[in-house]
Amino acid sequence: MENGLGIPQTIALFGASSEIGQAVIREIIQVGVANVVLAVRSESSVAQFKDELNGTYPGVNILVHQFDALEFESHDGLIARIVTEVGDIDVAVIAFGVLGGEPCESLLSTDAVQVAQVNYTGTVSLLGALATQMKRQSHGKIAYLSSVAGERVRRSNPVYGSSKAGADSFAQGLSDRLVGSGVSLLIVRPGFVASKMTAHLKPAPFATTPGAVAVATAKGLASGKRIIWVPGLLRFVFSIFRHLPLPIWRKLAEKG
Q: Would you name the residues annotated as active-site residues?
A: 160
Cα separation, 62 vs 249, in Å, equals 46
Cα separation, 66 vs 69, in Å, equals 10
Q: Could you tell me how far CA 44 lies from the centroid of its own chain?
A: 21
3 state SS for 8-50: CCEEEEECCCCHHHHHHHHHHCCECECEEEEEECCHHHHHHHH
Sign of CA dihedral 12, 179, 131, 113: negative
* Axis-axis angle for helices 19-28, 210-223 (nearest 10): 50
Instruction: List beta partners, residue 39.
Output: 14, 65
